[in-house]
Amino acid sequence: MKNRLITALGGLTCALVLSGCTLVPTTSAPTVHAPGSVPFGLTNSAMPGTANGHVTFTKISVYLYGHDGLLHPVSRLVPEPASFLVDLNTLVASGPYEASLPHSDLHSVLPASTEVLRASLIDGIALIDLSKSLSQAGTSTEVRELAQIIMTASASGANVGVELFVEDRQVYMPTVYGGKTLLATPYDYKTLVAK
């Protein structure tokens, strides 16, 4: 009992002593530092810890839904070289949650569990292989999900269309006009895109 009390008091004393310590000084406002005073080479043009390693970024467009129920293009920065697969994974990573500012009213309707297994672009046709079928909630939800993928693919160079696969099996895609197709084009979903 006495040992427990001593241990508890010792722990409490350590916690009180450490709560007053800060490893990094704090200020109430931002401070400006001279470039020479910033440690670890963080202001160098090369990445810290590398021999002249440079990272360049490029913008890609993904399509997200707005409060108006329509798709809007949103630019995202990704490291170069950007690939078609990066574009689609960026879209899927947008998930069914709020996008980052300044587009906080935009969101993805793709299920968070959607995984792009493979994606390639051949002669303007995107071949996209997903880990599972899209929405089981009905055709209108699936059309909205497909529109988001097809418009993002189109912005990334799929100017002929998109062929969709689920675990290596090609699937028919419903369009906004009520039909189904093996080669979906932006035209099949243009009524869901903001003007």
pLDDT at 96: 43
What's the pLDDT band for 138 if we cut at 50, 70, 90?
low
Per DSSP, the chain holds a count of helices (H) and strands (E) of: 3, 8
Are the beta carbons of 146 and 189 closer than 8 angstroms?
yes
Sequence letter at residue 60:
I
Quote the radius of gyration of the chain (alpha carbons, Å): 25
Q: Which residues contact 65 (CB under 8 A, 6 or more apart)?
A: 71, 72, 106, 107, 108, 109, 144, 148
Are the beta carbons of 103 and 194 closer than 8 angstroms?
no
Q: Which helix (H) or strand (E) holds 180?
A: strand 180-181
Are the beta carbons of 153 and 162 closer than 8 angstroms?
yes
Per-residue pLDDT tens digits for 47-81: 555 566 667 777 878 888 988 999 998 887 777 76
- DSSP lists the bridge partners of residue 63 as 73
pLDDT at 184: 94
Are the beta carbons of 161 and 125 closer than 8 angstroms?
yes
Per-residue pLDDT tens digits for 78-113: 777 666 666 677 666 654 444 444 556 788 888 877
pLDDT at 164: 93
Owner of token pair 């699937």: 171
pTM: 0.66
Owner of token pair 């004393």: 13
Q: Does the pLDDT of residue 118 top 50, yes or no?
A: yes
Question: What are the sequence ranges of the domains in the chain?
Answer: 57-192
